[in-house]
């Protein structure tokens, strides 16, 4: 099961999301991994399919291609018991419109409601198992498929901007640039009028708006340039990104290990000083001719404190050993990544990259957030 990022991430652009998806999916097919089923999730609580949701759906259709829709499940989530009729109405609208779910359903996709009668754990589990069972059954009836983006990048050798998903992203950028250009033109015209009427404050506000529009236009052009990438260039960028994550993670664990070792050394030094002090105290107590019961009580207190110190030292040693194990895993992942990239380049495709990326990202502890899920079968 692959949990993919969506095109509504506030921390990264749609182009970066498309590059990440394209890199992984193309490497997967080069490694012989085929898609067995796709789950597209949509909140039924949304009154209408807004710009973000519609962009997600359009990009999903371009990425997957019509041939994969018989292997696709559309799962509607966020059903509210007090708004059940509204949810059913929105569901009918989505099903009957070819711009939304209508075309997918007419070509073999299946619609499922997820936890429609409640949000309890049992209800959610039952809904999810129903979807998975359906896809497993479909696996026996339908062959595994290739996504449109996989076929275009790997089999046809297209650059990302020449794929259907890339052209869709370029279209969004083009519309954004047109909108910004109109805003820029309006701001410049109004600024000239404000200058003519000596309205300095308004002219300064319009100048700030003009600069913001120009900055956004330049940003969109840079995003556009990101799409002009070949398959291997995308993999090289992805490997560099993962390498940076691994480096940062190793530095983090190295710092933790150094701190644990300092703590361990401090504990061991304290333990030695404590034992030396006890020996001095014990000699003094004997000279003071303390009774046997008092002496035994002091020895028990010392033994208890010594036992706690030993446990703390053992715990610190264990934690330090865990950090060392993490560092070895990261270094092993880095070596595996380099090895698999070399194998991929020697065969002319990104063969072997998937294993390296999976191992590296697993070591880095990074799991992407979901827009739609893809179950795979080797």
- Following DSSP, what letter does each residue of 80-144 receive, concatenated? -GGGHHHHHHHHHHHHH-TTTTHHHHHTT-EEEESSTT--SHHHHHHHHHHHHHHHHHHHHHS--
Q: Whose CA is closest to 115, among 128, 102, 134? A: 128
The answer to whether residue 13 sits within a structural domain is: yes
Tokens 């039924």 identify what position? 44
Q: Which pLDDT belongs to residue 252?
A: 84
Give the residue-averaged pLDDT of 146-175: 82
pLDDT over threshold 80, residue 100: yes
In the structure encoding, which two tokens stand for residue 317, read together?
A: 């040693």
Put simply, whether the predicted model's pTM sits higher than 0.85 gets the answer no
pLDDT over threshold 80, residue 166: yes
The answer to whether residue 373 sits within a structural domain is: no
| Same domain, residue pair 76 and 215 | no
The upper half-sphere exposure of residue 332, i.e. CA atoms within 13 Å in the direction of its Cβ, equals 11
Q: Which pLDDT belongs to residue 314?
A: 82
In the structure encoding, which two tokens stand for residue 154, read together?
A: 């790997």
Rounded distance between C-alpha atoms, residue 90 and residue 45, angstroms: 9
Q: Whose CA is closest to 38, among 365, 377, 373? A: 373
The answer to whether residue 10 sits within a structural domain is: yes
Question: In the structure, what pLDDT confidence band is assigned to residue 334 with cuts at 50, 70 and 90?
Answer: low
How buried is 330 (Cβ within 10 angstroms: 0-12 exposed, 13-18 middle, 19+ buried)? buried
| Same domain, residue pair 102 and 13 | yes
Q: How many domains does the chain have?
A: 2
Beta strands in the chain (DSSP E): 2-3, 34-43, 72-77, 110-113, 372-377
Which of 110-114, 142-146, 234-238, 291-295: highest mean pLDDT? Answer: 110-114
| Same domain, residue pair 134 and 85 | yes
Query: H-helix or E-strand containing 220?
Result: helix 200-226
The answer to whether residue 208 sits within a structural domain is: yes
Structural domain for 188, as ranges: 177-226
Q: Which pLDDT belongs to residue 75?
A: 93
Give the residue-averaged pLDDT of 366-375: 35
Question: In the structure, what pLDDT confidence band is assigned to residue 357 with cuts at 50, 70 and 90?
Answer: very low
| Same domain, residue pair 14 and 58 | yes
| Same domain, residue pair 99 and 194 | no
Q: Which pLDDT belongs to residue 105?
A: 95
Rounded distance between C-alpha atoms, residue 41 and residue 76, angstroms: 6
Question: In the structure, what pLDDT confidence band is assigned to residue 95 with cuts at 50, 70 and 90?
Answer: very high
34 to 1, 26, 147, 230: CA distances (angstroms): 12, 10, 9, 21
| Same domain, residue pair 150 and 222 | no
The answer to whether residue 19 sits within a structural domain is: yes
Q: Which pLDDT belongs to residue 229?
A: 63
Query: H-helix or E-strand containing 201?
Result: helix 200-226
| Same domain, residue pair 41 and 81 | yes
Average pLDDT, the chain: 76
Give the residue-averaged pLDDT of 232-244: 72
Backbone angles phi, psi at 3, to 5 degrees: -95, 110
| Same domain, residue pair 196 and 119 | no
Question: In the structure, what pLDDT confidence band is assigned to residue 368 with cuts at 50, 70 and 90?
Answer: very low
Give the residue-averaged pLDDT of 8-25: 80
| Same domain, residue pair 44 and 118 | yes
CATH number at residue 97: 3.40.50.300
The answer to whether residue 82 sits within a structural domain is: yes
Q: Which pLDDT belongs to residue 69?
A: 93
Rounded distance between C-alpha atoms, residue 145 and residue 141, angstroms: 12
pLDDT over threshold 80, residue 80: yes
The answer to whether residue 15 sits within a structural domain is: yes
pLDDT over threshold 50, residue 376: no
| Same domain, residue pair 64 and 121 | yes
Q: Which pLDDT belongs to residue 169?
A: 79
Q: Which pLDDT belongs to residue 285?
A: 66
Q: Which pLDDT belongs to residue 25?
A: 84
Q: Which pLDDT belongs to residue 108?
A: 93
Q: Which of 210, 226, 242 is the last residue of a domain?
A: 226
The answer to whether residue 331 sits within a structural domain is: no
| Same domain, residue pair 80 and 208 | no
Rounded distance between C-alpha atoms, residue 227 and residue 163, angstroms: 10
Give the residue-averaged pLDDT of 151-162: 83
């Amino acid at each position: 099961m692959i949990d993919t990022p969506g095109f509504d991430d506030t921390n990264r652009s749609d182009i970066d999301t498309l590059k990440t998806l394209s890199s992984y999916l193309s490497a997967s097919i080069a490694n012989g991994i085929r898609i067995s089923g796709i789950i597209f999730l949509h909140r039924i609580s949304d009154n209408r399919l807004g710009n973000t949701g519609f962009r997600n759906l359009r990009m999903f259709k371009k990425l997957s291609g019509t041939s994969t829709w018989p292997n696709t499940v559309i799962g509607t989530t966020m059903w509210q018991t007090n708004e059940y009729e509204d949810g059913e109405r929105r569901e009918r609208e989505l099903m009957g419109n070819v711009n939304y779910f209508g075309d997918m359903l007419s070509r073999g996709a299946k619609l499922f409601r997820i936890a429609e009668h409640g949000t309890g754990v049992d209800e959610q589990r039952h809904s999810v198992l129903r979807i998975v069972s359906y896809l497993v059954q479909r696996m026996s009836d339908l062959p595994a498929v290739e996504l449109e983006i996989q076929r275009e990048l790997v089999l046809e050798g297209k650059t990302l901007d020449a794929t259907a998903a890339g052209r869709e992203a370029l279209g969004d950028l083009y519309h954004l640039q047109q909108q910004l250009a109109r805003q820029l033109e309006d701001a410049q015209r109004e600024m000239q009028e404000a200058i003519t009427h000596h309205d300095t404050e308004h002219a300064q506000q319009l100048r700030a708006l003009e600069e913001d529009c120009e900055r956004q236009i330049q940003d969109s052009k840079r995003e556009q340039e990101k799409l002009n990438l070949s398959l291997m260039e995308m993999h090289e960028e992805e490997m560099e990104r993962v390498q940076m994550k691994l480096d940062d993670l190793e530095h983090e664990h190295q710092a933790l290990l150094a701190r644990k070792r300092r703590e361990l050394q401090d504990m061991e030094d304290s333990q030695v000083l404590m034992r030396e002090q006890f020996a001095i105290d014990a000699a003094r107590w004997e000279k003071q001719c303390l009774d046997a019961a008092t002496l035994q009580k002091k020895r028990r207190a010392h033994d208890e404190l010594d036992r706690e110190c030993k446990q703390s030292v053992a715990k610190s040693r264990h934690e330090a050993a865990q950090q060392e194990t993490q560092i070895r895993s990261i270094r092993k992942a880095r070596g595996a990544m380099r090895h698999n990239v070399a194998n991929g380049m020697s065969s002319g495709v990104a063969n072997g990259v998937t294993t390296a990326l999976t191992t590296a990202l697993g070591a880095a502890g990074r799991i992407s957030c979901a827009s739609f899920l893809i179950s795979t079968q080797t």
